[in-house]
Structure 1
């Protein structure tokens, strides 16, 4: 079972999210929070696997709550932002705070369920519109083909490593990447370890952010 905490300050919205999650046989909603502070407190008390985090809530808000949860001593919960906001600054702030994914509330129910499962498994999840916003922000607003938007070859990634990194940015899991490229899952993991080392990062989310910053994807 994937233990989920839902953090949203609107009771009706929160109830709707909980109702959706309750229809999934492998989810268990262990707590609900109406503020950032409450989310941090309940994570420590209930130890969920995934926190569904709205951004704009009373008190410290979702970004700071995400940071405190991710940096908490002994914390294992992963945060999936689930909000109506697609503002570039909010997206970047949430990802930099340690969120493992960012979905918008306009997403279909099946996308939310898949996102929770992916984040629980340690994968990164980005709504397509969010991925596009991150890429644009990482280029400093420069359109494709403009100076500064070209790929930076300095990290020395191989063509296969770049290909795998691009698929990670699309939200594909290791098994899905392996199936897409007709290679073994262990090979995908090996390539990703090389990517992390070359980019100086430790996980998939930061690898994608770094790649966007330097124009690889």
Structure 2
């Protein structure tokens, strides 16, 4: 796991929390002050479970570009920031972050987010839950009942093949449904390019609830 944050004390604190956690105590952490420095040393993830805890700064444009770049390269990004602006939180999720936590939310929420980052089910902390509940729903795409069923099953399983088995569909049919759902969100001006972003969209639009995850 890697902490990318200009403040060394943030890394020290997170590393101490990990050592005290029964599920994460074997996790080793490295620290980089910015994303460019990190990607020069690690252009691609060392494994499929590489989590980056990213501290957003007041320079939102560059920080959010970092979320997109890390996600594109295959890293699981957990944003951990002092920034509380709801538009920043929404944009971070839309950019591919697995979740967003405000630093005042503390140890337990961050550890839960790190554990969940490598699973199909992103952790929804208090800030993200509040932002999703406060979303303007006027641009909701209309999903057919079967599309909603496929979407929920995909959120609750590890693969499209398992969804196909569960719903007695061909895997190609599952992929077609998901492609249509993404196309509807693009048409609504709210693209969801990652599974985490699609989960956020579905919660925003009240297609599913947090309790369904």
Q: Do the two structures share a fold, i.e. TM-score over 0.5? A: yes
- Decide whether aligned partners of structure 1 residues 199 and 46 sit closer, same or farther in structure 2, where only a CA change above 3 A counts: closer
Cα shift at 1:197: 4.3
Q: What pairs with 1:87-166 in structure 2 (closer than 5 Å)?
A: 87-139=85-137, 148=138, 154-157=142-145, 161=149, 164=152
Distance, in Å, in 2 between the alignment partners of 1:210 and 1:198 is: 14
Q: Does 1:33 align with 2:32?
A: yes
- Decide whether aligned partners of structure 1 residues 22 and 45 sit closer, same or farther in structure 2, where only a CA change above 3 A counts: farther
| Structure 1 residues without counterparts, runs of 5 or longer | 140-147, 176-183
Cα shift at 1:90: 0.9
Alignment correspondent of 2:200 = 209
Alignment correspondent of 2:69 = 68
- Decide whether aligned partners of structure 1 residues 59 and 99 sit closer, same or farther in structure 2, where only a CA change above 3 A counts: closer
- Decide whether aligned partners of structure 1 residues 11 and 193 sit closer, same or farther in structure 2, where only a CA change above 3 A counts: same
- Decide whether aligned partners of structure 1 residues 65 and 156 sit closer, same or farther in structure 2, where only a CA change above 3 A counts: same
Alignment correspondent of 2:9 = 12
Cα shift at 1:32: 0.6
The answer as to whether partners of 1:35 and 1:57 remain within 8 angstroms in 2 is no
Distance, in Å, in 1 between the alignment partners of 2:126 and 2:60 is: 29
Q: Does 1:53 align with 2:54?
A: yes
Distance, in Å, in 2 between the alignment partners of 1:57 and 1:45 is: 26
Greater Cα shift, 96-105 or 59-68: 59-68
Q: How many residue pairs are counted as aligned between the two chains? A: 186
Alignment correspondent of 2:79 = 81
Match for 2:178 among 196, 199, 205? 196
> Counterpart of 1:103 in 2: which secondary structure?
strand
Cα shift at 1:40: 3.0
Distance, in Å, in 2 between the alignment partners of 1:156 and 1:59 is: 36
After superposition, what is the alpha-carbon deviation per residue over 1:149-187, rounded to whole angstroms, capped at 9, x for unaligned? 9x76x211359739948xx6xxxx659xxxxxxxx9x74
TM-score by length of 2: 0.67
Structural RMSD (CA):
3.8
Cα shift at 1:115: 1.4
Alignment correspondent of 1:144 = none
Greater Cα shift, 95-104 or 121-130: 121-130
The answer as to whether partners of 2:45 and 2:74 remain within 8 angstroms in 1 is no
Greater Cα shift, 203-212 or 15-24: 203-212
